Amino acid sequence: MVLKGAAVEVAAEDAARAARSTARTRQLLEAAARLMERRGSHAVSMQAVAEEAGVSVGLIYRYFGNKQDLVQGVIVGVLDDMARLIPDAIGPEQDPVRRIAAAFAAYCRVVEDNREAVLLTYRESNTLDDQGRQLIKDLEVQTAQPLRDAVQEAVDRGLLAPVDVRIFSYDLLIVAQSWALKHWYFAPLMDLDGFIRSQLSLLLSTLLDGAHRADYADLLGAPA
């Protein structure tokens, strides 16, 4: 069914309204993440977030009912980015080792784009209620699934040595998060691309089967 006239205008207005709402939500969450990462959530008021974002406090309450909603929104926002961008980064790639590399790189880039929010996740997730913490756990498990699937396939095909897939997958995620957690240490030594290359080389070199190492020389930092 083709929309015409007024229907087209209504659809366009709805799309524009949704885009503005998404942009405003992100603006508020980024302001909250900056403040709470520096001061802790208990020391940050909704008024302070409003001032940081350059909006009225009443506007914040249109989007978030209380401070816990803000904290949860910041954390969920990072996980939503990962859930969207990691599958995009993997795309149609069939090689499971290269899917691991693509997923790890995408995860690191989301961490770079949300460093304050990642730090806030570690610091403030325990302030959420039981339902909020369970939501974060469930989303994190879902977010990690493409990486776990790639690791499992690589092990099944003999490309990686036998390993506990769940542990290795989460090792990769924790290393990616260290770009935010220890940014003060890594940033003077290398840029993000250098961090991704060096960490992938280190992590994969411990498990790649010897018969296949030459196929992944570029990931191991060896001459092609």
pLDDT tens readout for residues 133-151: 898 889 888 888 999 999 9
DSSP states of 109-171: HHHHHTHHHHHHHHHHGGGS-HHHHHHHHHHHHHHHHHHHHHHHHHHHTTSB-S--HHHHHHH
Q: Same domain, yes or no, for 40 and 130?
A: no
DSSP states of 52-104: HHTS-HHHHHHH-SSHHHHHHHHHHHHHHHHHHHHHHHHTT---HHHHHHHHH
CATH of the domain at 18: 1.10.10.60
Cα separation, 206 vs 126, whole angstroms: 34
Residue entry with tokens 């302070």: 48
Handedness of CA 37, 39, 40, 42 (dihedral sign): negative
What's the pLDDT score for residue 43? 77
13-56 pLDDT, tens digit each: 443 344 345 777 888 888 888 887 777 777 788 888 888 888 88
What's the pLDDT score for residue 165? 95
Contact between 110 and 78 under an 8 Å Cβ cutoff? The reply is yes
Query: What residues make up the domain containing 60?
Result: 1-65
Identify the DSSP state of 222.
Answer: -
Q: Same domain, yes or no, for 37 and 119?
A: no
Q: Same domain, yes or no, for 12 and 110?
A: no
Please check the confidence at residue 156 and state whether its pLDDT lies above 70: yes
Q: How many domains does the chain have?
A: 2
What's the pLDDT score for residue 195? 97
Q: Same domain, yes or no, for 83 and 8?
A: no
Q: Same domain, yes or no, for 93 and 161?
A: yes
Please check the confidence at residue 204 and state whether its pLDDT lies above 90: yes
Q: Same domain, yes or no, for 110 and 209?
A: yes
68-127 pLDDT, tens digit each: 888 888 888 888 888 888 888 898 889 999 999 999 999 999 999 888 888 888 887 888
Q: Same domain, yes or no, for 13 and 83?
A: no
Q: Same domain, yes or no, for 187 and 197?
A: yes
Q: Which of 65, 91, 106 is the last residue of a domain?
A: 65
Cα separation, 172 vs 178, whole angstroms: 10
Residue with more model confidence, 157 or 70: 157
159-194 pLDDT, tens digit each: 999 999 999 999 999 999 999 999 999 999 999 999
CATH of the domain at 197: 1.10.357.10
What's the pLDDT score for residue 12? 39
CA 98 vs CA 89, 101, 129, 156: distances in Å: 11, 5, 38, 15
What's the pLDDT score for residue 8? 43
